[in-house]
Amino acid sequence: MLLEKGIFFMMYMHYCKPCHRVHMLNGHKMTCPKCGGAIIELRIPYMDYVCMDMAQRSAFKEQCADKEQLKELSTTYRMYKYSKWYKELNNQHC
C-alpha cells in the first residue's frame, strides 16, 4: 500500500517551441527537459492526448506551432501566479 503512494504522478502536457515538441511531464513544468528553454503548459488533459492517434497528435503539434492557436491551447500564466485561486477554481469543477 505504501509503495503505491507517490508512484502516481499527474501528467501535464507542455509544448516547447524551439524543439517543436509536445512533452508529457509530471507536474507543472516551466522548462523543457530537452533544451532547457521555456515551455508552455497546455490545457489539453493528458488522457485526451494519449487517446489521439498519430495523425491527430501531429495535427495538434502544428496547432501549437501557430502563435495565435497556442494562446488558445495554453493555460494562462496568471494561473501559475495565483495557484491558490486556481486550485479553488479546480475544486469547484470537480
**What is the binding site for Zn ion (CB under 5 A)?**
16, 18-19, 32, 34-35
Q: Could you tell me the smallest distance in angstroms from the CB atom of residue 21 to Zn ion?
A: 6
Q: Give the residue from 6, 10, 85 showing the smallest Cα distance to 41.
A: 10
Q: Could you tell me the smallest distance in angstroms from the CB atom of residue 15 to Zn ion?
A: 9
Q: Nearer to Zn ion by C-beta: 25 or 32?
A: 32
Q: Could you tell me the smallest distance in angstroms from the CB atom of residue 64 to Zn ion?
A: 12
Q: Nearer to Zn ion by C-beta: 66 or 88?
A: 66
Q: Could you tell me the smallest distance in angstroms from the CB atom of residue 12 to Zn ion?
A: 15
Q: Nearer to Zn ion by C-beta: 38 or 89?
A: 38
Residue 68 class from Cβ within 10 Å (0-12 exposed, 13-18 middle, 19+ buried)?
Answer: exposed
Amino acid sitting at position 64: C
Q: Nearer to Zn ion by C-beta: 18 or 45?
A: 18
77-85 contacts at long range (C-beta below 8 A, 24 or more positions apart): 80/28, 80/30
Residue 88 class from Cβ within 10 Å (0-12 exposed, 13-18 middle, 19+ buried)?
Answer: exposed
